[in-house]
Amino acid sequence: MYKKRRFLTAALCLAMLMSGTVSRAQQAQDSVIISLDEAIKIALDESSTIKIAEANITKAGYAKKGSYAALYPNISANGSYQRTLKKQVMAMDFQGQSMEIAVGKWNNMNAGVSASMPLVNAQLWESLKLSALNVELAVEQARSSKVSMVSQVKQSFYAVLIAQYIYDVYKQVYDNAATNYAQIEKKYNAGKVSEYEYLRAKVNVKNAEPNVYSALASIDLAIWQLKAVMGLDLNTKIGVSGDLSNFEEEMLGFDVNDSLNLENNTTLIQLGLQERQVETTIKMTKRQYIPSLAASFSYSYMAMGDDFDMKWNPYSVVGVTLSIPIFDGLSKRYNIRQNEATRDVIRMNMEDTERQLRIAHKGYMNQIATYIENYHAAESTLEMAQKSYDIAAKMYELGKATLTELNDAQLALVQSQLTMSQAIYNFKVTMSQLEELQGLEH
């Protein structure tokens, strides 16, 4: 009876674990499987961050078009009506007699059109260049959001792959422990092994279970993180395709001595655009010293009368207005000095940013070199560890090795497998960070 209860306990543990495995398999079957490229495409389509960046581009585009409107004539129509409540009285002397005469009409009406247009306005022309730079900056900021989004999606995608691989490794460990336990239990029931050996095998099964459950939870969390980055509803069922081993060749063929190309780095590009904006602002302020010339035109009809039976008389003028700045309390000069100081600060920021980027690049390259060395070290021991485990398992089956020796061989095998996969994962994560640093979108 006692033996039967122990067998049922072991079977229950195995059923619990297998239920989790079936649940994961069923979930994968019900999920939409996506590749890395598909995940990036969905993120760029669904992410609110990208949508906001694109809206800012549209906004800057409208602002640019609005600034060009200042080059065209400004035409307006106007009309007015005035009712005289009390006429103005003029007093004069006529042949030695004082006279008072009421002047004006009870009704006064006016209607017409007017137009104005800048002919020479250097400040306006520079402001148009500034509007164009605002659009360029908005576009680059949107590209920066895309670069960052792609990097986040890649890192989240790789996190799912490493979580799945770790689950597979720990599941294999559990399967081996469960198989050993089943064999030892039969031997124990037949009196061929000690109770210590039997209990040790049972403990190995129990110790393997938490790692499997933890790996399952890590997969779920990694997928949730991926869905959040992609902008998907968290209830959407998705899975990922691919395997970390697919990137093995890329890692081994990577040249850690590659030079850094900052031509597309979005931070430096944005700082460069900001510098150009300040330069344009300085030029625009200096253009305020230049006289401006504007043309104007007005055509109107006027009518006056004591009743509404009036005669309309046309009136029109055309002219030019010349404005020459003379003195403004040195406000333009101080504005120029202020913008020049801002430009100098931006240039210093660019130098410091480039320096920090080169340091980061050097750090990434050193990390990648370390990951490659770790991979080679684990690879050189993996084959031996696998062979050692196979021999230990066979010897244990024949009763020529202890369970401790078998566990040690399995531990060495698991460590080699996890080290290799971790090296590839770290390489791909660092590569995504390196691509973001260089401003690459894919």
pLDDT at residue number 28: 53
Confidence of residue 18 (pLDDT cuts 50, 70, 90): very low
Here the tokens at position 413 are 């095998």
Confidence of residue 29 (pLDDT cuts 50, 70, 90): low
% of the chain surpassing 90 pLDDT: 45
> What is the rounded average pLDDT of the residues 319-337?
90
Check if the beta carbon of residue 39 is closer than 8 Å to that of residue 153: yes
Please, which residues bridge with residue 239 across strands? Answer: 33
Number of domains forming the structure of the chain? 1
Check if the beta carbon of residue 44 is closer than 8 Å to that of residue 229: no
pLDDT at residue number 267: 94
pLDDT at residue number 68: 81
Here the tokens at position 189 are 């029931």
pLDDT at residue number 217: 94
Strands (E), 259-415: 292-305, 313-323
> What is the rounded average pLDDT of the residues 349-357?
96
pLDDT at residue number 30: 65
Tokens 């994560």 — which residue?
A: 429
Smallest Cα–Cα separation from 202: which of 21, 14, 15?
Answer: 14
Three-class DSSP category at 73: coil
Euclidean distance between CA atoms 300 and 79, whole angstroms: 9
Provide the pairing of β-strand 97-103 with 107-120: unpaired
Q: Decide if pLDDT at 16 tops 80.
A: no
pLDDT at residue number 262: 92
Task: Give the CATH number for residue 296.
Answer: 1.20.1600.10
Tokens 């200042």 — which residue?
A: 70
Lowest mean pLDDT among 325-334, 374-383, 404-413: 404-413
∠ CA 415-420-423, nearest 5°, is: 120
> What is the rounded average pLDDT of the residues 368-373?
94
Check if the beta carbon of residue 424 is closer than 8 Å to that of residue 368: no
Pairwise pLDDT comparison (162 vs 308), residue with the higher score = 162
Smallest Cα–Cα separation from 40: which of 379, 432, 312, 353?
Answer: 432
How many other CB atoms are found less than 10 A from the CB of residue 308? Answer: 9
Domain extent at residue 344:
2-438
Element (H, E) at 111: strand 107-120
Check if the beta carbon of residue 278 is closer than 8 Å to that of residue 342: yes
